[in-house]
Structures are given as C-alpha cells and as structure tokens.
Amino acid sequence: MHYYPADLALALGQHWPATAPPLPPAEVLTAFISTLYQASLLAEEGRPVVCHLVLATQAELEAQPVTLTDFHLVSFAEPRAYSEQELRRLSPAVQQSSSLLAVAPTADGSLQLWGMLFSEHQWDQLVDQPRLTTARPPRALLVQVSGPGSLVFYDGAQRVLTLQRGRIAGHGFVSFPEAWAKGRFVENRALAGDALPNPELTPEQEELVVRLTLQLQRRALTRIRTGGHGALIVLMPTDRVVALTAAGGVLRPKYRLMPGGSGPRFTALAQAVVRRLAQLGEVSWAHYQQAHNDAELMSLTAEIEHFADYLAGLAAVDGALVLTQQIDVVGFGVEVQATQVPLERVYRALDLAAQERQPLAFDHGGTRHRAAYRLCLAAPECLTIVVSQDGNVQFVHEQAGEVIVWDQLTY
C-alpha cells in the first residue's frame, strides 16, 4: 500500500502526541506534505533535494521557553511562496539538521516560507542515540527530507512518523531493537571483556553494549548512504572466521587485515565506555545518554563515530566488508564465492519476526543483493547488510531455510 498526502496527514494526526502543540487543519497539513513530497523528487545541481523544515509561526516559536543556546530565528524581509521549486533552490542552506526553513500558514490558509531556524540540537537522530549537546529543539512539527519520497516527521526531538519509498513505518519497514540484535551481530559478553568482573551481564549492561554497537552501525550506514555508493557488509561469529575465509570458503578477502597491537578497536572503545560508566556509578545505556557532560565519555563517543567513518570508507571498496560480531574487521574487498548455491525464493519481512512476509523475485536486486542472498543460504550464521546506490538499506538473514529481507528505515 502506498500513501499519499491526504493519507499522510491523517496518519500524522493519529500519531501526533496529545501533549504536543496542535497541528494545523487537515487541508493545510495536506498541502504542506504534498509540496514537500514533490520537492523530494527534484534535484539541485544533480543531487537529490535534502532539507529540514519547521511548520510554525514566528510567534509560536518565540513563545517557547528556550535558552540562548537552544535555537534562534531569523525572518526574511519578504516571505517567499512555499513551493517545491523554492524548496529546491533553498535546500543547500538547510541540509544540516541545525538549519531549518520556517513555514507557516497565512490568514487565507496558504503557506509561506517566512524565515529560518538555527540551532545545535540533534533532533533528527534516533531517540536512543546519546545527545552530545544540551540544546533543545522547539516543540513543533519538524520534518527531515532525506531523498526521493523519504520524509521523517518529528515532534521536537521525538520521531512520530516516517515515509520511505511510499510506505509508512510499520508497513514493511522496521527499526531493529536490541533484542533482535542479540545473536545476529553482537557478541555482548566478549565486547564487555574484563571491564566488568561478573561472567554474566545484567540486562542494563547488555543493553548498553548492544546499543553502542547499533550506534556505530547507524553512523557507518549513514556515511555510506550520504557517500552515494552502495555497499555489502557481512557480520559473522568470531569463531567462524577461519572456516568461512579459508581456501575454498565462501568468502575470499582481497584485503585481509590483521589485528592491531591494541586489539580490536571497537572492543577497546566499548570496554573503555563500560569502565568509565562504572567509575561514574552506573553501567547502563540510560546513564550513558545522561552523562553527556563527561569529557571522557564525549571523547570516547567521538572515537566510536570516527571508527564508524573508517568502516564506511572500507565499505566503499568494491567487494564486501566483513566484520566479526565484535565489529573486528576481517577484511574488505571480499569476494562472495557462493554462485553455486541455488536461489529460488526470497521473502520481504513485513514485521520484525517475519511472520508476515511477501515473496520477491530472487533477481529483483543487483549483484550485491544476490551475493547477500546466496551467502546467507551457504553460511546461515552470517547476517548481511546491503546498501543500494540509491540509499536503500536491507538486512538479509536466513530463517528456517529461507532468505528473508528486512527493509530498514533510513538512518
């Protein structure tokens, strides 16, 4: 099922928090979304339109209790018409989430661009990522346009609704929680190492390790998407590396890496985060999010982001980037040797557990997709992530002898 502006306006109204400032009338909201959608299909100097907007009047934003560092507003001497071409022309100025075009309805119900909002807030990140600033976004309808047909709607920093490839989140697109990650691409206890003395992790400690890994993954995938190149990433259990990459194995690394002198980089960073949180009194994801003023944690978070950028660079090389479930790099430019594996059926999961699924033609994707499908059949212990050149992200995993594809929400 594909959604259109009137459907999106209705769905947004249904999901809009009761405590949030009210949305404009349905016809105004529909016109706002329709123009945004049309603008997302355009290109500016050969690049897809990427921009950020806030739908509110200047008076509504100025009335909010904010500090000097939260955000500030500037208004145009002459408001501009709210149109897809105007959004296209202005989009280079508001590609970063700290810069937004301000839109508001006029007395006659039409819409106009009246100014811009600037801030250091991080409202367009997923809500489970740590905030590296204390700045707060305004409570208003904020929108991120990230490419053709991709719109994400927020109430301040809280994501409310996502449209991607004509479908609303929850209709085939999933965002994977930490429970799904366990056993698929995170070796929780090994990542924590000797930073924690007990052989078993508490639920709070386990959540921290998994979410650190998800944070790294999201950053890397975002960098791959914005780089405009596709990628194939393979995650495997550490104890399967030798067998799967040996002569005659299904993975043939062109560039195999040996561990550095200090051991796997991400493992060292994750353990440093755990140790610092232990010094601060609580090893949990909630504490990590709240401790944004701690200089050491800020520095470690920045290093995790740098490592994610490094992984994105390796993934740009032709071939697969292969990682262990501890996010140790096995090699890149890896050739998948599974052409002999028969491939007859592929299914798109319509829910997290893949209880509901939709059959796909096995050749519906490109070379990377088919390599991922065959690899998951040949080595079911592997999880693959495929990033298309158009920016779509798919997770591929074997389940009960079938190849299952999960369309992932844009990072």
Question: Are residues 378 and 244 part of one domain?
Answer: yes
Residue that terminates a domain, selected from 123, 145, 168: 168
CA atoms within 13 A on the CB side of 94: 27
| Domains held by the chain: number | 2
Q: Are residues 159 and 291 in the same domain?
A: no
Q: Cα(378)–Cα(398) distance, rounded to whole angstroms?
A: 9
DSSP string, 105-148: E-TTS-EEEEEEEEE---TTS-TTSPPS------SSEEEEEEET
> Which residue segment(s) compose the domain that 122 sits in?
5-168
Domain boundary among 168, 198, 229: 168
Burial class (CB in 10 A: 0-12, 13-18, 19+), 240: middle
Q: How far apart are CA 6 and CA 73, in angstroms?
A: 30
Query: Model-level pTM?
Result: 0.68
The residue among 36, 25, 28, 19 whose CA lies nearest residue 140 is 19
Q: How many residues does the chain have?
A: 411
Extract the tokens encoding 233: 């990433």
Q: How many CA atoms lie within 13 A of 26 on its CB side?
A: 8
The pLDDT assigned to 73 comes to 87
- Note the pLDDT tens digit of each residue in 241-255: 999 999 888 999 999
**Are both 113 and 196 inside the same structural domain?**
no
pLDDT of the residue at 206: 85
Are 180 and 79 members of one domain?
Answer: no
Name the residue among 175, 146, 172 with its Cα closest to residue 2: 172
Considering the domain architecture, whether residues 225 and 159 belong to the same structural domain is answered as no
Do 181 and 224 belong to one domain?
Answer: yes
Q: Check which CATH number belongs to the domain holding 27 and give it.
A: 3.40.1700
Angle between helical axes of 295-315 and 203-226 (0-180°, round to 10): 50
pLDDT (0 to 100) of residue 132 = 47
The β-bridge partners of 186 are 182
Instruction: Please name which of 122, 174, 146 lies closest in space to residue 52, comparing C-alpha atoms.
Output: 146
118: its two tokens = 């600037």
237 and 382 fall within a common domain = yes
142 and 232 fall within a common domain: no
Question: What is the residue-level pLDDT of the chain in tens, covering all 411 positions?
Answer: 445 788 889 889 888 999 999 999 999 999 999 999 999 999 877 778 889 999 999 999 888 876 555 678 889 999 999 999 999 999 999 988 788 999 999 988 899 999 998 876 656 554 444 444 555 678 899 999 988 888 889 998 788 888 876 667 544 445 565 566 666 767 777 888 777 878 788 888 888 888 888 888 888 988 887 777 789 999 999 899 999 999 888 999 999 887 655 568 898 899 999 999 989 988 888 888 887 678 999 899 999 999 999 999 999 999 999 999 889 999 999 999 887 777 788 888 877 788 888 888 877 778 899 999 999 999 999 999 998 877 778 899 998 889 998 887 554
Residues 24, 126 share a domain = yes
> Does 160 share its domain with 119?
yes
pLDDT digits (tens, 9 = 90+) for 319-370: 999 999 889 999 999 999 887 777 788 888 877 788 888 888 877 778 899 9
How far is the C-alpha of 409 from the C-alpha of 21, rounded, in Å? 26
Provide the CATH number for the domain around residue 254: 3.40.1700.10
- On whether both 294 and 198 belong to a single domain, the answer is yes
The confidence score (pLDDT) of residue 135 equals: 59
Distance in angstroms (rounded) separating the CA atoms of residues 368 and 224 = 14
Looking at the structure, do residues 233 and 366 belong to the same domain, yes or no? yes
Name residue, tokens 């016109």: 31
Of the three residues 119, 150, 168, the one that is the final residue of a domain is 168
